[in-house]
Structures are given as structure tokens and as C-alpha cells.
Structure 1
């Protein structure tokens, strides 16, 4: 998923991630409010169309799927009270609660899940997340327009029983069910608002702990309000979670010091200055920030040019000095601390072999760049680097410009634009080079590796490699039931993508926060929708 943020907090675009900053209040006997800040605006709350982590964080609190993901991504009951799975792992039956309602009073039924999944997969919807349904019966055929949407392996058995049929065992299936793309949608509301559906708070309905209010579709503030129709409302303690877009971390820090925010994300400089502050905490993120080069451009099809641009970047300095805030140099596309080997429990990144081009080798980079220019018949290269306009991403852009222009004959122009625009530009491949990011949708390496396949809508660099596609297909299909074989497929695929410089990985992000002691119970997960406010409170 993309993060607007620093890409929604920082999308991706995709999730922050969501930059969460809040000010806790209790007024009256039961009123509890957290005021938070985020550095990127909302673009849509249509679960079939968004790719932004900030939006997924909102959807995770205003809607609910078959399951909810609690602390450490633990699967907990959501709209489904229970489920069973066949011995071969290919058929799931979910039993839905009968007291779940939408905020307009409609009951939440199995038909809402069938409708939502079919809508997302329908090629007419043009969802960038349809690939996540791969492995569900006929999902790939539907995406490729070789089967009707009605053939998808999901069936409502009456109003409160749902059957999902898979083509092969999916090890992370229950985790997927906790991701907003798989949440239900109210068909009556979609049809009522048509193209305006999800473009403002009033053109959507909600079945989760909160409802979205006060968002017009373009304004820079909105509120999550406790949902009086939510089936488990008695356990929701907060009355409101208020969001305000604040792109400059110095503003957030000032508001925190004035007791107007409960949680404030810090810049690298701020974090260093406050390293001994008792309110300072760290949040890991399952993410990767990278440069995507539009490989429809002849120049960027040249491997030596891509490798040279990678080798001229000092990643340790970039992570520690420029970005900070817990960012790390990963030498990988898949994030660290996301998944462990079924064989020996080692982290996925330990099995990956980083090529020379992932290291800092300025002399070799200059030589390679010169050779690459000669191969494409150029003496120099000038391109524009697109990135979001948040504080930390402007800092990143300036560093990259300085580093890349050390390559003889290369000139880089910077273009930092709002998050709502950059996602659209990236999706439409309207860029020469861009800083992008990907935040894990669930705790499995495939959440990163899938997006580099040649037909994936999120493959914004448009890199293509038949062997890579074969390995990912094998991990999702033939080897899906063999944990070690599947793991080896993914390791080989990652090594291939890094060696061929499919993208230029930069760093894995982290966050440093100041958090007031009064805020309790906010659940943060590194993968998927990061924030869950259902159990949060102000003490």
C-alpha cells in the first residue's frame, strides 16, 4: 500500500503511514476526544479505489470486515463470529453476526461482502488492489477479463453465512480478511452516489466503531465519531478522534508542547534533541521507500544507468542523517521484521543477497553512468524527480538531487507536490522518476514482491522480467501449500529484482513520537492498516 506522507502519513502515498498526533480531552462524564494530526490529506474513502495508507487507517476504524486485527495483528472476531475451514484449506465458511448494521440502518449481510469483492475485482472499477484476491477462485481470470465477475469464489448462503472458495491454500488468508480491501460495501449507497461515492464523508456509510464526519473531500480536517449503530459500541470508549493536516513537524511539536496534541511525530533533528525525553517512543514500519524510474523511457531501460543511480546513494547516511526517526538501511525491498523462515526462523532479509549496486560505490557509479549514456547515445541526462510535498520528503528530495548530480552529466529537477496528486500521477505513469513507497498490507513478503510483477497496477516503474513473474506465480500457486518451497521462490525473486535494479530501494522507515501518558489503548501494527482506535481511551 502506498503512503501519502511521508505518502498517509508520511500514501504510497501509501501508510504512513498515518501520522498520528493527538490531544486528549474529557468533557462531561463520558466524553473522550483525541485530537490528532496527519501530514497528508484524504483523497477517497472508497475501499475499492484507494491505495493510501492514511485512508486505510481511516477505513480500519470506520468499517469492519469478517475479522479485526488486534495487537500484533492477532485475528479477532469482526462481523463474523466464527469460521470453519475444510481439510484441504481451500474452503472457508464464515458465520456472520445478526446485529451488525450500517450507519444508515441497513443490516450488514453476507451479500455486502459478495458485492464489495465483485466490485473491487470488476475491471470497470480499475482497482489497483484486485491482485490481492489472487488465489480466490477465478479472481485472476476476472482480472484478465476471461471470466465473469459473478464466477468469483464467494457465495452468500442466506444473509448470515458466507463461503469463500480458494484455488489453492493461502497461508495468510485470515490476515487478508482484516485488510480494508476485503471489507463489505453497502450496494444501496454505492448506487445512490455513483461516481461521487466515497469522495466525502456524506457519500459513504459505515459499519465500524466510528463514522467519518466533517470531511468534504478537499478540506484538511475530519473527525471519527463514535458509531451509535456499531454492534460492539459498549466497548468503544472514545467519542471522537479529530484529525488536522499538519505538514511541518515543528508545528506539531509546538502544539504538543502547548498541550494541544497528545501525540506528535518528530523529525530526525527533533528526535535527536529529545532522545532523553520520557514521552519519546519508537514505532517500526513495514515499509520501503524507493525510486521508481519510468522504464518506458529508453534511458531508464538501461541497466547500467539504473545501477549507477543506485550506487551513488549513501544509504546509511540517508537513513541515519537525512531521514532519521528510526529509519534503517535495509539492502532489500521486503522490510525487516516482517516474516521469518519456516525452516529456521530467520528473518526474510537474512536470506536475501544484496548486489553490489545496493552499496555506496561512487567511483564505479560514475564509470557505469558514463558507459550507460554511451549505450543510449547520450552525453548527458536531465530528468525531473517527483515526490510528495511533506517536510521529510522535501528533505529526501534535496539529498537525492545532491547525490545523483555527482554523476557526470546528470541534472535533476525537483517537483514536490501534494499527496492527492502524486498518487494519481504515479498510477498513470505520468513521471520520469519518482520517490514512491510501499507499506505492507499483511505480514508476508509477497505483499511487497507482488507489486513488481509485470501486470500489477502498482508496478509504476513498468519493469518486466519473465523469470520474476514465474517465481511469484509459483509462490502463489504451485508452491502455495509448501512453506519452504514458497519461501525459496520469494527469496529468488527478490534477489533477481535487486540484481536487475527493478527499482532503487532507499530505506525502511520508522517513526519517533512524543506521546502523552493520557492516551491509552491505541493499537499500532507495522503491517496493513496501522492504527486501531476501537480500544483507545483518554485517562
Structure 2
């Protein structure tokens, strides 16, 4: 009997030991699985802010988009799909009032529920003149937004209302056909008023001063760092479909540095430019996707020199766009001779592409450039002139302005071009303050309608760094937004006219290329979303396959 008891005890002990061993193995397996679903990536620029009301650059928008979600989000087909809204809204008979029901399981990273009041607060913040949001004009579609941002009405009168915690009502100025796409944009993301108020002016200046309601949490960013980490947000309503547990991001302004990190397997994703495209274009890790992003020169019309339209026209025609895209970029980007990019919007009457229908508005033409330069010198009363081009300090930006400097000085004798390259945050601050002659920048729309490009240059537009003012342009733009809102062909024709005025007649900016995204992505990493407009990239659906 004693032997039987002993054997039984030994067997039981073996079960316990086996169970303990199995538990340890399970933990190790879980740990391995968690490690597996982690990637390292590069970004070509730093985060400037995490405040969705204050951003004005794509890198900040990218970061905000990883940690935040609005009523709609962008699906793999680049279409708007439901996000925090749990169902399509009910719409009034006049198509001006939209009523959304929010998800019951949508939470902020501090545990607070996402409520209709969070959207009301965020939208009012964007249009409030005290905020000075660069994106405020994007909300002009909402009732009273334009009046509010021009200090003719109070923010509380904005056409957005919290009926209750989970019911949001949005009233538009006029019916618009693209509202879901518009609402995926960064300016339309919610903010937790209590948290934002408690952090004050520090909100969005570091990882600790922002809340998340999206797929990831942001960690390890102090506000000036060149690296940060995205951690899976387990409280995200759709967390079950977020596979990655960790995305480590390192800024690589120099493409070569990013490529070196990829080759040494320190990152699984990095962007490519110029000679690296040629080197890797046959590699299975190489990809090239077209974008609606444009590269352009902006002119400060508040200055005597660049306020002269003939000088602006001369500068616009004085550099070889094809040589630039072939030698400096080489990533699939193409020369652009207008403001609205190709394959972006189509005529509702005949389905013709906007760019093809409006034709070439500004081309490389050194002879015409010299003629305009001669007229400008006469009107300005000078024989020689020195101007400065401002840019960010990324490798591509530096190469771009060096190319432009060489071309312009060659084709416009007597014009000297100086260069000033600074970190993106500083470049944005200088352009916002009007402290520049010319700047090189890029612009990517938030949704696929030409109005998103054109509204930038209305007289009171928050991103109108050129300080362009034209009553004719403003009247036409308002007609597009209101009078022709339900007359698609008249609306389209007016947008064609507005682009010609902006680029061909007034030479407000000098667009010169339509971008593409060339990059290396580890073949084992799947589901990374590369956007053709708006933000650059999303890791929400990304995962490691093996």
C-alpha cells in the first residue's frame, strides 16, 4: 500500500512538473509570437506635432494617423470605411444634416470612452481663430465654419452637435459628394477635451502629452527625438485585427542611411530615391507606387521681388522638370505642368482626367523665362537680384534645391539663388511667419477632389503661405463649394478655371513634379498600406508572415 501511495504521489508530482513545464513553454511561445509581430522602419522626417489641429506636414500626419481614428478610416482599396462611426449616418432630405452613431467600445488610452463631445471639441478647436490651425479652411464645408475662423461668429455656433454621448450631428453649409473621404483626414480626428485642457500648450508635444484612440500608442518620443515606437493599443475597438505589437521608427533623412539599415537587417522598410532605385528596381523587396503628392516652389507675395508676377513666371519656367525627376528622384515621379496631379479626379460628364483636360499650364521654357525675367527687372528697377530658397534639411530636399539653384542661375542670368536648409519644424515655422523669399515644399491632399488642392490658396487659407489674395479666385472657390455644390459639371468647369488662374495667370506657385513612393519592404512583411494621398503609410493591417 505504501508503495502504491508512493507511486501515485510520484505520478501526481510528474503531472505537476509537466504542467509547470508546459506553462513555461506556452509563455515562451507567446513571447516568441509577440517578438515575431514586431518590425523596424525608417521615416524620412521627424514628427513636428501630434496635435491634429496644428499639424501641417505629412510626417506628423502619419504619426497622428497611427494613433488616432475618426468617424471613417481608409481601407486597403483607399476608400473610406467606417471607423469610430458604427454605421453609415442618417441623412436629411436636403442632404445637409448627417447623424452618426458612435461605437460603444471606442475608448481613449486613458480608459475614457470616445464620445460625440470629443468630435465637437476637436472640430471647434480647428476652426477657432485662436488655434491658428493651418487646416481650418478644410472645415468650411460645415455650417458657420468660415464665419467662425474669420471671427464673425463664435466657435460654439459650428454646425456640429453632441445629441448624446454616442450621437453626433454634423450640419453642412451645402451638400457635398465626398464627405466620407473628407472625414478620414487628420483635421477631423477627435480630441479628449479634459485631457487636452489639462496638458495645455504642451498637448501633442511629446508621447506623454497625447491620448490614442487608434491602432497604436506612441512611445519614446520627447518632442525633438529622431526615433519613436508604436505599441499595439489593446483598448482599440478593432484591436483583434491589428497584428503588429511593435513598430520601431528611426528617422533617416539620408536615403543611403536608410538603405544601410535595410541591408544590415536593422529595418524592414525604408524609402528609396535616385540611384538606389536603379540598384534595387529588380529586387523582390522593391516597390513603386504612384501618389497624388506634388512638389512645388511657393513664392512670398508679401515681398517686393517675389510679389512681381513676371518674376514668378520666369522662375516657374526656368528649370528642366524632366531632368529633375530622372536624375534627382528616379523613383517613378513624373514632371507636372499643373497644380492638380494626374489620375486624381475625373470629369463627371465624360470621365476625362482633370490634368489631361486642363492641359499643360506651366512648362520648362528657358526663352519665355528670360523674357519674363527681362520684364520683371524693368518693373523692379534692377539689373541683378539675389533670392533665397528655403527647404527642409532632408537629403532629397537639399538635392532638389541645389538642382533648382543651378538651373535658375543658368537660365536667368543676373539672378543669384542662395539656399537655406533647416529642420522641417523650422521650415514650417518660417513659411507660416512669411520669413522667406521662395520655399520648396510638397503637398498631398487628404481626399480625392480638386477642391482640396484649390482651397489652400483662398485668401484666408491656413496653408496659404504665399499670402495670395484674389477676390476673383475667392468668389470662384465659394461658388464651387456652394452655388455649384449640386451641379457637378458647372462645379468641375469652375475648378478648371481656378487652376488656370492660380498657375497660368497669377503664377502663385510653381508645381514641377508628381510624386511616387519607391521603397524597400521585407517580403515577409505584409499588409502595409501606402496611401496615394493624405498620409504616407499605415501599419494598422501590417503583419510578419513568418
TM class by shorter chain equals over 0.9
- Aligned partner of 2:531 in structure 1 is 525
Q: TM-score, structure 2 length as denominator?
A: 0.92
Q: Provide the rounded CA distance (Å) in 2 between the counterparts of 1:353 and 1:518.
A: 42
Q: Secondary structure at the match of 1:413?
A: strand
Distance 2:91 2:441 in 1: 38
Q: Which residue of 2 aligns with 1:404?
A: 408
SS in 2 for 1:299: coil
Match of 2:423 in 1: 418
Listed as ranges, the matches of 1:80-91 within 5 Å are 80-82=85-87, 83-91=89-97
Conserved? CA contact 1:284–1:526, under 8 Å: yes
The Cα offsets for residues 301-350 of structure 1, whole Å up to 9 and x where unpaired, read as 22221111122111111122222211111211111111111111111111
Secondary structure, counterpart of 2:306 in structure 1: helix
Query: Which residues of 2 match residues 40-439 of structure 1 at below 5 A?
Result: 40-82=45-87, 83-355=89-361, 358-406=362-410, 407-439=412-444
Write the mapping of 1:475-486 to structure 2, written as runs, cut at 5 A.
475-486=480-491
- For 2:482 and 2:58, the matched residues in 1 are separated by 28
* CA separation of 1:467 and 1:160: change in aligned 2, threshold 3 A: same
Q: In 2, Cα distance between the equivalents of 1:360 and 1:54?
A: 30
The separation in 1 between residues aligned to 2:76 and 2:450, in whole angstroms, is 20
CA distance in 2, matches of 1:430, 1:58: 27
Give, in angstroms, the shift of residue 532 of structure 1.
2.4
Aligned counterparts of 2:232 and 2:256: Cα–Cα separation in 1: 30
Q: Give distance in 1, aligned partners of 2:403 and 2:33.
A: 51
Q: Contact (CA 8 Å) 1:81, 1:97: kept in 2 or not?
A: yes
Instruction: Please give the secondary structure, in 2, of the residue aligned with 1:300.
Output: coil
Residue 454 of structure 2 is aligned to residue 449 of structure 1? yes
**Pick from 509, 519, 528: which aligns with 2:515?**
509
Equivalents in 2 of 1:470, 1:353: separation in Å? 23
* Contact preservation (8 Å) 2:47, 2:63: no
More displaced stretch, 420-429 vs 344-353: 344-353
Tell which deviates more after alignment, 44-53 or 64-73: 64-73
CA–CA distance in structure 2, aligned partners of residues 530 and 228 of structure 1: 24
Structure-1 residue corresponding to 2:500: 495
Conserved? CA contact 2:206–2:223, under 8 Å: yes
User: Would the aligned equivalents of 2:528 and 2:539 in 1 still touch at CA under 8 Å?
Assistant: yes
Give 3-state SS (helix, strand or coil) of 2:204's partner: coil
The farther-off stretch of 418-427 and 258-267 is: 258-267
Aligned to 2:11: none
Secondary structure of the 2:148 match is helix
1:404-428 Cα shifts (integer Å, max 9, x gaps): 1121210111111111110111111
**For the residues of structure 1 that align with 2:81 and 2:364, how far apart are their CA atoms?**
45
Q: Which moved more, 1:276-285 or 1:420-429?
A: 276-285
Q: Deviations over 1:342-380 (max 9, x none)?
A: 11111111121434xx22222332232122101111111
Looking at structure 1, the residues matched to 368 and 129 of structure 2 have their Cα atoms a distance apart, in angstroms, of 45
Unmatched 5+ stretches in structure 1: 1-25
What are the ranges of 5 or more consecutive residues in structure 2 without an aligned counterpart? 1-29
Q: Is the 8 A contact 1:386 1:416 kept in 2?
A: yes
Tell me which residue corresponds to 2:478.
473
Q: Which secondary structure does the structure 2 equivalent of 1:72 belong to?
A: coil
Q: Is the Cα contact below 8 Å between 1:110 and 1:156 reproduced in 2?
A: yes
- C-alpha distance in structure 2 between counterparts of 1:360 and 1:139, whole Å: 40
CA radius of gyration, larger in: 2
Root-mean-square deviation (CA, aligned residues, Å) is 1.3
CA contact (8 A) 2:321 2:512 kept: yes
Partner secondary structure for residue 30 of structure 1? helix
User: Does the 8 Å contact 2:337/2:360 carry over to 1?
Assistant: yes
User: Shift in Å at residue 27 of structure 1?
Assistant: 5.7
Secondary structure of the residue aligned to 1:468 is helix
